[in-house]
């Protein structure tokens, strides 16, 4: 007999790849605390993934390792399905380095729960007001192709929030995260809001502050002398 477990957390996220640059990343928000450190994972030239609902943070690195070994997003997801006895409690999305996307929404996710996959992206969520949230995220991601990946991911999240977002506010904690890798082994963008009444608003504020320094931080490791000239250049 299957026992329903009462969930109290509501989450939506998007994973994406930039066709022009090969950048990979993910963005997420939830009613729980510290979502950016538990749910989203990415690696340069490998893939991006999110594990949410009844989150198992071990599945993120596992998915990246599988894709690094050559599994496609769908192939990696099949391996996770076969290995996880609690798969119906999970929601998983993966995008690989070639832009293939795969996702699974377990049958024990809190309604509304579901996902949309397309070339270079997965939009998904659980405990939402309806399918319109992930539809808005998917459409916005596809429509913003000229922008940098971090901007596209956050705009997609903002569109999901504007479409209604989470069905209820279940806890006093609210968090969000934005993670993007370019070609370096360290992230291009790794921003987190761990407790805030309006986490996506706060994440937008932080990203706008961070944007002028992205090129500088990216270049500084290899060129500490020349990098300062990049610090305040236009994005």
Domain ranges of the chain: 11-230
CB 204 within 8 A of CB 154: yes
Q: Is the pLDDT of residue 117 over 90?
A: yes
Q: What is the pLDDT of residues 131-169, one digit of tens each?
A: 999 999 999 999 999 999 999 999 999 999 999 887 765
The reported pLDDT for the residue numbered 222 is 83
Mean pLDDT in the chain? 91
Q: What pLDDT, on the 0 to 100 scale, is given for residue 173?
A: 57
Position 121 pLDDT exceeds 80? yes
**Structure tokens of 172?**
């006093």
The answer on pLDDT for 78 being more than 90 is yes
Query: In this structure, which topology does domain 11-230 adopt according to CATH?
Result: 3.60.20
Of 173 and 44, more confident: 44
- pLDDT (0 to 100) of residue 1: 28
Per-residue confidence (pLDDT) for residue 166, from 0 to 100: 76
What would the pLDDT profile of 6-25 be if each residue is shown by its tens digit?
Answer: 444 689 999 999 999 999 99
């Amino acid at each position: 007999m299957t026992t329903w477990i009462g969930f109290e957390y509501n989450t939506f996220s998007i994973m994406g790849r930039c066709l022009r640059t090969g950048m990979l990343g993910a963005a997420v928000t939830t009613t729980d605390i510290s979502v950016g450190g538990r749910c989203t994972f990415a690696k340069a030239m490998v893939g991006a993934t999110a594990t949410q609902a009844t989150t198992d943070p071990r599945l993120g690195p596992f998915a990246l390792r599988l894709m690094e070994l050559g599994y496609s997003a769908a192939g990696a997801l099949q391996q996770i399905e076969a290995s996880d006895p609690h798969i119906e409690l999970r929601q998983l999305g993966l995008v690989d380095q070639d832009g293939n996307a795969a996702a699974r929404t377990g049958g024990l996710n809190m309604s509304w729960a579901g996902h949309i996959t397309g070339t270079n992206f997965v939009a998904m969520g659980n405990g939402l007001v309806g399918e319109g949230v992930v539809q808005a995220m998917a459409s916005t991601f596809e429509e913003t192709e000229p922008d940098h990946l971090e901007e596209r991911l956050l705009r997609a999240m903002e569109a999901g929030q504007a479409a209604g977002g989470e069905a209820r506010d279940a806890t006093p904690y609210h968090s969000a995260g934005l993670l993007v890798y370019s070609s370096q082994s360290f992230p291009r963008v790794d921003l987190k809001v761990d407790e805030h009444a309006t986490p996506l608003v706060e994440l937008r504020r932080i990203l706008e502050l961070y944007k002028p320094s992205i090129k500088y931080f990216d270049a500084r490791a290899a060129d500490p002398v020349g990098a300062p000239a990049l610090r305040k250049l236009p994005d």
